[in-house]
Structure 1
Amino acid sequence: MYYGIYVPNFGDETGVRALAALAHEAEQAGWDGFFLWDHILYRASPPVTMVDPWITLSAVAMLTERIRIGTVVTPLARRHPWQLARETVSLDHLSSGRLILGVGLGHPPRIEFAPFGQESDDLVRAEKLDEGLEVLTGLWKGEAFSYQGRRYRIKKTVFWPPALQQPRIPIWVAGFWPNKAPFRRAARWDGVVPLKRGGLQPDDVEQIKSYVRDHRTSAEPFDIVKIGITPGEHPARARRIVAPYAEVGATWWLESFFTRRNSLEEMRQRIRQGPPRA
């Protein structure tokens, strides 16, 4: 199992420099990844300080050498996929091939989509997510690419350079279990970030692993990502929390922080305590 840090891209103390410094600390403390939320607004009011995750991850890439980095998750329907293709390839090269792209529908649509005149209907956003992934992966190849879909149309073009990671930058898809559509979507890609109201249990992970296996056509490795919280001051207890998920097939544990609850110093302290390796 791999162990990462999972931090919102908002909060009074979470500037670009501060988050990049946290990522550097995470690498020094033995963590395997550093992942950011991707929001443009967290709430309608009062306003909250936000940072752009892609600029922040560029700073993270410059201050680290080993850990994987990425977003968990980017609402792809909110982005022009060709612009995201350019950004992700640039970051993949900057990080020497350490990028993982997490994607999902985006939540809440009334805050992230509707105020800007973007379509907030779930089905439309799901269509844009599926087509956007096809556009992204097509442009990542560095070959002549055209596309005709319901939501996107692209005349023949070549994006150069191709992504450093081949056959593609790994893609994780988020979704709420037991809704099946997000997990059928995830089965076509490289991993899943399952969420569940009331909390994801080891039995859920076991069911998700089985469901994905039944819908997967590739024999390539597939990640199942569990987001949670462990007590760094009690390593044995932390390992007992993580171990049941590792035993049923979870491949990543993301230690979750919330900047409305955790101060920068509290996050730094937990990071320095190291991952709860089971």
Structure 2
Amino acid sequence: MRLSTVILPVRRWSEGGRDQWLRAESLGFHTAYTYDHLSWRSFREKTWFGAVPTLTAAAAVTSRLRLGTLVTSPNFRHPVTLAKELITLDDVSGGRVTLGIGAGGNGFDATTLGQEPWTPRERADHFGEFVPLLDRLLSEDSVSYDGTHYSAVEARNIPGCVQRPRLPFAVAATGPRGLKLAARHGQAWVTTGDPKLFEAGTPEQSLEAIAGQIGKLGAACEEIGRDVEELDKILLTGFTPDRGRPLESLDAFVDFAGRHFVLGITEIVVHAPIADSDFAADEKVFEQIATEGLAQLAG
């Protein structure tokens, strides 16, 4: 199992932002992700910086840590411009980028550009075009495409990604259409659990739901002749009924991670603590989990 973290882009680079990414590398996390939003929930009226510039700055001050979004969505992104930014980020980082990508939701991103929020079906329709087109844009020197929602006219992406044939996709999906995209285009799959269980569900129900999601992912892979074991399976914590339990103590983390490892989860992602927020946690416990958690799990 791998252990990764999320660093929300809520600090000025000169006021602790840079130091967080350096600490993530020194603590030995596999990947440090950030959210790709224009603003987010309880941080709506607070500092919030852009994901790609933040990751580019992080790439310039780190050397081993993988970097990524968790997740990027079509809500305010276009595949052509996003591809150019990602190829640049992959180059600056020396090939250390993973793109977490999902269909998005009805948050602030969905209306900031002046559009009406998409229905779930419209989100799935956009996502169904977005992922295959982005796959091509990151893999081919020149792409032309005329679709229902997106177009590209001789979009040039030379020299392409450092990682070949392109940087990896971690596809967030639980529905049948999204799981098919993960099976066909993903190098990893992302879940936050079952959102219907967040408020009133139990940890046991959550485990059962995630096991069911993994089973459906396996069926989607089997349908196209792919081995589901080829995909990493990433759990972003903080959105299951356990909420903050994984960061309560080292023992709590080991218990939580072990239960999900048995299901087939191969990467656990914990949020770097942010005081006075939904992600408040003890910094010492966070560092202890980073340095000892996987060893305790293996033991």
Give TM-score, length-normalised by structure 2: 0.80
Check conservation: 1:4, 1:252, Cα contact below 8 A: yes
The residue aligned with 1:15 is 12
Checking the alignment, whether the CA contact within 8 Å between 2:160 and 2:166 is kept in structure 1 is no
Q: Identify the residue that residue 40 of structure 1 maps to in structure 2.
A: 38
Residue number in structure 2 paired with 1:254: 269
Per the TM alignment, residue 57 of structure 1 is displaced from its structure 2 partner at its CA by 0.7
Match of 1:206 in 2: 211
CA deviation profile, 1:186-238 (whole Å, cap 9, x unmatched): 22222222132224733333222221111113347202111224566742332
Match of 2:288 in 1: 273
| 2:76 paired residue number | 78
* More off after superposition, 264-273 vs 77-86: 264-273
- SS state of the match for residue 131, structure 1? helix
Q: Which piece of structure 1 moves more, 197-206 or 236-245?
A: 197-206
- Alignment match, 1:227: 236
- Report what 1:180 is aligned to: 176
Which residue is equivalent to 1:120?
A: 117
Aligned counterparts of 2:266 and 2:69: Cα–Cα separation in 1: 17
In the other structure, the counterpart of 1:2 is: 2
Deviating more after overlay: 78-87 vs 113-122: 113-122
Decide whether the 8 Å contact of 1:69 with 1:100 is kept in 2.
yes
1:31 counterpart residue number: 29
CA offsets 1:47-75 (integer angstroms, 9 cap, x no match) = 22111111111111112211211110112
2:251 to 236, 239, 250: 236
**1:264 shift after superposition:** 10
Higher relative contact order (CA 8 A, sep 6+): 1
Secondary structure of the corresponding residue to residue 155 of structure 1: strand
Q: For residues 131 and 16 of structure 1, do their structure 2 counterparts lie closer, same or farther at Cα, with a shift above 3 Å needed? A: farther
Distance 1:164 1:45 in 2: 34
Tell me, in whole angstroms, the C-alpha distance in 1 between the residues paired with 2:216 and 2:46: 39
Structure 1 residue 31 displacement after superposition: 1.3
Q: Which moved more, 1:202-211 or 1:143-152?
A: 202-211
More divergent stretch after superposition (80-89 vs 122-131): 122-131
- Read off the aligned partner of 2:91 and give its amino acid letter: H
Assess, with a 3 A threshold, how the Cα gap between structure 1 residues 50 and 233 changes in structure 2: closer, same or farther.
Answer: closer
Contact kept in structure 1, 2:232 and 2:267, CA below 8 Å: yes
Please report the TM-score for the alignment, with normalisation by the length of structure 1: 0.86
**Secondary structure class of the residue paired with 1:243:** helix
Aligned length: 272
User: Which protein has the bigger helix share?
Assistant: 2
Give the secondary-structure state (helix, strand or coil) at the position aligned to 1:137.
helix
Gaps of 5+ in 1: none
State, as a whole percentage, how many aligned pairs show the same letter: 24
Residues 44 and 273 (structure 1 numbering): CA distance in 2 closer, same or farther, change over 3 Å? Answer: closer
Amino acid at match of 1:81: P
Contact preservation (8 Å) 2:6, 2:272: yes
Which of the numbers 176, 185, 188 marks the counterpart of 1:191?
188
Q: Displacement of 1:81 after TM fit?
A: 1.2
Flag the 1:64–1:44 CA change in 2: closer, same or farther, 3 A: closer
Q: Deviations over 1:93-114 (max 9, x none)?
A: 11111111111222334x2222
Mean Cα deviation higher: 73-82 or 117-126? 117-126
Pick which of 83-92 and 189-198 moved more. 189-198
Is the alpha carbon distance of 1:150 and 1:57 closer, same or farther for their aligned partners in structure 2, counting shifts above 3 Å?
same
**Match of 2:103?**
105
The answer on whether the counterparts of 2:253 and 2:289 sit within 8 Å (CA) in structure 1 is no
